Chain A
């Protein structure tokens, strides 16, 4: 369970939000909404442990997240960048990402994930020759292959076509109904049931 209490985020001399409380239980997801510059990305980075809040604390199962090893093992975070290496193939990107997380990923699982996201036949192409949407699809394959409880996704629907949006929605709702948790930002309303809105 993730809980945050009294979160305050300050960027430069501007206070983006203050005294924000939120809790997330297994089987729930949060939709973070707000205008451009309202601090959606900043909130997600705080929750992922990439930045420190000016005030307040974030806990994972009661432990502060900065020293909970368990948190990182259960966390999957995607920012605006897909963390893909352009010179490597889609398959290599998945393999190295898993190895860095200390997870094992068999070739078969990786290939199946890429196939599921419509990248069959493009597994051995360098990511640089793929289109923007296809690069996002490689990222989705990464989400599908990483075994994490909490997904924090910043604008995951950007650059995706209708079919990929459906695939990702299904992926997220399967994850949530299976007892996972998710926190997303998006400007669209999302076709995933069981969510709560956090308005910044």
Chain B
């Protein structure tokens, strides 16, 4: 447990020393979501309709921005080797890294999303559902993304490959995440969508670190 926290703390500390990487993804999210109301014009019904989809797609793309860096630096400077031969199981250290990744790339999106949602004329309860859906969905993105990041480690042109690999896997999160907000707006209730999102998250929490660990071991050989 201490080792997990140590890895997470180390990654967070390094992000604090180099803030631009986190801010880039956050500004990307803000700007992309702000372009839609500006481009479409003030049509509240249309904006309300596209809001969940736009916010979710922007969140997916913003997550993609930092994904490649998840293990790249550790691979380049030999830290990954040390993690692989550490007495602490590699899978635990991977959990720590995924946790840190979510804290710096997922959580800020969740926190700023309600402010951006106002641009789309979403009411308070819809914003609440949006936050809950993102809170369940963004860790899912970090977990699935970590598998892709580990698989494309050390591959030339890995960035493009990573997008091709990971974006299709993000589709279920997108469907149920955006669907939750839409279902709430149309009066159907978001419970079903959120439950499915939570189920996917539970599944990913269990399996993704193992898959990532296996991929990292292949990358190290």
Contact = CB atoms under 8 A, between A and B. Distances in A.
A72 B87 contact: yes
Chain B contact surface mostly:
helix
Query: Size class of B's contact patch?
Result: 20 to 34
Interface string A38-75: 00000000001111100000000000000001001101
Contacts of A126: 17
Contacts of B82: 77, 83, 97, 100
B86 A83 contact: no
B84 interface: yes
Contact of B88 (A52, A86, A101): A101
A183 to B, nearest CB: 14
B91 to A, nearest CB: 13
B24 interface: no
A83 B77 contact: yes
Contacts of B6: 96, 99-100
Interface in B41-93: 73, 76-79, 81-88, 93
Contacts of A51: 220-221
Contacts of A69: 87
A83 B85 contact: no
Contacts of A48: 85
Nearest to A95: B6
Query: Size class of A's contact patch?
Result: 20 to 34
B78 to A, nearest CB: 3
A28 interface: no
A102 B17 contact: no
Given A99-B6, A100-B3, A49 B17 contact: no
A165 interface: no
B112 interface: no
Interface in B171-192: none
Contacts of B7: 96, 100
Contact of B81 (A83, A92, A96): A83
B14 interface: yes
Contacts of B161: none
B85 A84 contact: no
B20 interface: no
B180 to A, nearest CB: 38
Interface of B: 2-3, 6-7, 9-10, 13-14, 17-18, 73, 76-79, 81-88, 93, 220-221
15 contacts: A48-B85, A50-B81, A51-B221, A77-B85, A81-B77, A81-B78, A82-B77, A88-B10, A88-B17, A96-B6, A96-B9, A97-B82, A99-B6, A100-B83, A102-B2
Given A50-B85, A82-B78, A85-B79, 5 more contacts: A51-B220, A87-B18, A88-B17, A100-B88, A102-B88
